[in-house]
Amino acid sequence: MDSAGSSSAAESQISVVEENPNGQISAPPCLKEFSFADLKTATSNFGHEALLGKGAYGTVYIGWFDEKTLSPSESGIGMAAAIKIYYPETIQAFDQWQSEVNILGRRYHPNLIELLGYSWEDEKLVLVYEFMQKGSLDNHLFRCDVFKPLSWDIRLRIAIGAARGLAFLHSLEKQIIYRDFKSSAILLDANCNPKLSDFGLAKLGPSGDKTHVTTRMMGTNGYVAPEYFELGHLNVKSDVYSFGIVLLELLTGLRATYLSQTNDNLVKWLKPMLSQPKTLMDVRMKGQYSLRAARNATQLTLKCLEVNHKNRPSIKEVLEVLEQIEAMTSMKEDLEVLEQIEAETTMKKDPEVLEQIGAVTSMTEVTEVLDHIIAVTSMTEVPEVLEHVEALNSNKEVPEVLEHIEAIEEKPKNSNYRSQQSAAAHHGQRSILHRFLTSLKEPFRCVSSKLSCMRI
């Protein structure tokens, strides 16, 4: 396609979407219109070190800008942004560029990639997005040589965030069908929070009483819903099927196109195993999830992958189930905890345990006796008690102490007590006795408290 033809086609396409006196797309004030010269400065003239990756419709670079003004800055200074330059050779590239500006430029959601601005000079179509530090979910799931395996908690968080992004698109007055939902289109920030990107194939949903839009099949092999692949019928439930494929990838660690070389289908191969999550789950997550949570996740995946789109849940219903599974995980309802709870329940029914609980009262009486002993000591350090403290080094038993104190209380006081009390105080025996009896009392109180808790 020559440049004149391309330019003419571009102008006519734009006027269809939104007419204005200049014949150009009308972007909201929040979007910045970059000059191509500014983008060259931000990327060090699109140098090799700034290259992030290449796709079917364009090349992505990292650029640097001032955070407040978005003016270009030197490499490594200011705020990083992702700059996508579309290949100008095809009308599809322009369609995708226009679709992204129309959708992302007029809408915001925490789980949709933020579009910062655009550039359109001559045949150069460019979009500038926020930079996502950890790249795509696809890389983290399937490039084990570079990335550490994602934990169960993080995978669940990613699924929930992606579902929220889709639910937002589906809940708009004019529904937007994502049409190309896949793991490589889910980008992760520094904290692994997900955002949907690549809205080039997004399409408005059916209007009026229509149940679907008929269109030429476009999407990624392995993620396309059967009704869309076979008949070209597209609706929001087509996105739910694609979401189910990504859920399957998150649970198993297998790529959707894993069996493509053998002309087999990953969904058909794994569906019989979805009822047995133990054999299905990614071994790199072993021990990180409860069997109940895994079972609920696999059952949800099965529902998303129903052949008949009418039997699939809405993405809002999918989100609700995922949030329930997350609640299970936050409660740490794993097998070990369940076994521990079961063991505690059994212990509470054990006769011996019940007898121990009943003995709390008698042990409480012991602590009261010890309180009385300490009070007696503070008032009258009788010589017999002091002598017994010295005798503790001979390992005499506590019952003997109690019996001896009881006998002391029955003896009449005599004139020698006061002088012996002074001698005891002189040798520091008062503090020794008090510390001993106090330390003896605390363990009884602690055991009493723990047994009281078991009554619940």
pLDDT digits (tens, 9 = 90+) for 283-315: 999 889 998 999 999 999 999 999 999 999 999
Residue 437 CB neighbours (<10 A) = 21
The SS3 call for residue 374 is helix
CA pair distance 184, 139, nearest whole angstrom: 7
**In angstroms, how far is the first alpha carbon of the chain from the final one?**
80
CA pair distance 290, 413, nearest whole angstrom: 70
Q: Looking at residue 424, what is its pLDDT?
A: 46
With beta carbons less than 8 A apart as the criterion, state whether 293 and 325 touch.
yes
The DSSP output letter for 310 is G
Q: What is the pTM for the complete model shown? A: 0.67
With beta carbons less than 8 A apart as the criterion, state whether 140 and 187 touch.
no
286 appears as a binding residue in the annotation: no
CA pair distance 173, 180, nearest whole angstrom: 21
Backbone angles phi, psi at 385, to 5 degrees: -65, -45
Q: Looking at residue 277, what is its pLDDT?
A: 82
Q: Give helix 360-379 / helix 429-453 axis angle, nearest 10°.
A: 160
Q: Which of 83, 87, 92 is nearest to 60 (CA)?
A: 83
Residue ranges in the chain whose pLDDT is less than 50: 1-28, 262-263, 333-334, 353, 357, 360-361, 379-380, 382, 389, 393, 395-396, 412-415, 417, 424-427, 443-444, 446-456
Q: Which residues participate in catalysis according to the annotation?
A: 180
Residue 234 CB neighbours (<10 A) = 26
CA pair distance 25, 14, nearest whole angstrom: 6
